[in-house]
Structures are given as structure tokens and as C-alpha cells.
Amino acid sequence: MTKLAYLLLLPLTAAHNAVGSGTSVADSTLSIRPVRWSVVGGTSPREIISGRTVPLTLQADIAKGWHIYSLTQRPGGPIPLRLDLLGAADVVVRGVIKAPQPERAFDKNFGIETEVYSGSPRFTIPVGVAGRSLSGLRKFQVGARYQACSATLCLPARTDKLDVALRITARK
């Protein structure tokens, strides 16, 4: 889809959604969110010993007919998934993020082979803390930056932030 077509489609979609809901076009805002992220196991703090690593699993629930691009999507086309830890200096990613095998297909819109996830893929991030980290609760966020597309429309990239907490205990 060309950029011009995309720019023309957004106001039309907003107007259609507003008229259908009984809201005036001036009062409406466009909100297309085909991807919902969650932390598997809930938001309770995960226990971790200072100097160790704990797995943190995220799930993307992707609406039918939509997909996001893989962590390993090559440059020159859509925006790949990126998972980052935000807000805690002593909490880091230790190792490789585990992800399902993406589906591969040539995408005529981008003119390259793409790697996509659809459905409800899970991603496991090895989260670690330094051996010198003080005991206590660490609150931070995981930022999931991605681009969602359907067969006819690609949305701008967005970053969803998920709240996470670790309860760090000293080594014995």
C-alpha cells in the first residue's frame, strides 16, 4: 500500500467509525489496536536471586487477519518486533529472546520476503540482575515495539508498555 493511500484511508476510517457509533467526526479518534500484549503469569513480582536470571514470558494476542513482523525481520521493509526493558538500570536482558518460528512469505507490498507472527505467539525474555544488586522490589516496563499489518493495511509502528516487577533477594 502506498503512503498516499494510507494517508487517505485513515480519515475515511475515522469518519466511518464515528458515524457508525453516533459520534460526530470532530469528536472521534481513530483507534485500531489489532494486537494486545500481556505478561504470562500475571503482574505479581517474580522472585529472583541477585546475580541470577529469570524467564519473563509475553504473549501477543493478534486479531484474526492481522500479523506482526518477527524479531529477525530483515531491514528494507516492515518494522520488526523489538522487546526492550525500560526503567530499571540493574535489570538487563541476558541472552537471546526465545520466539516461535515465524511464517515466511514474499510480500508484494514491500517487495521482500517477510517473517510474520499471527495468532497468539509467546516470547520469553531472559531477565537478569547483577550480583551486586540490592535486595528489594524493582518495577520496570517491557516495551514491545511492532508494526501490525493486514492483507490491505499497515498501521504505523507503535510501542506498547507492560508493567513488570522483580523481587530481588540476596545470595545465601
Position 90, amino acid = D
User: In DSSP terms, which residues pair with 146 in a beta bridge?
Assistant: 158
Q: Residue 88: what are its φ and ψ, rounded to 5°?
A: -130, 110
Domain boundaries, the chain: 1-31, 34-169
Dig out the grid coordinates for 56 from the structure: 519473563
Summarised one tens digit per residue, pLDDT across range 133-157 is 888 999 999 999 999 999 889 999 9
Q: Cα torsion for 127, 133, 138, 144, to the nearest 10°?
A: -30
Tens digit of pLDDT for each residue in 58-74?
999 999 999 999 999 99
- 91 beta partners: 129
Report the alpha-carbon distance of residue 87 to residue 25 in Å, rounded: 38
Grid cell of 78 as nine digits:
516492515
| 93 has pLDDT over 80 | yes
| Full-model pTM | 0.80
What architecture is domain 34-169? Sandwich (2.60)
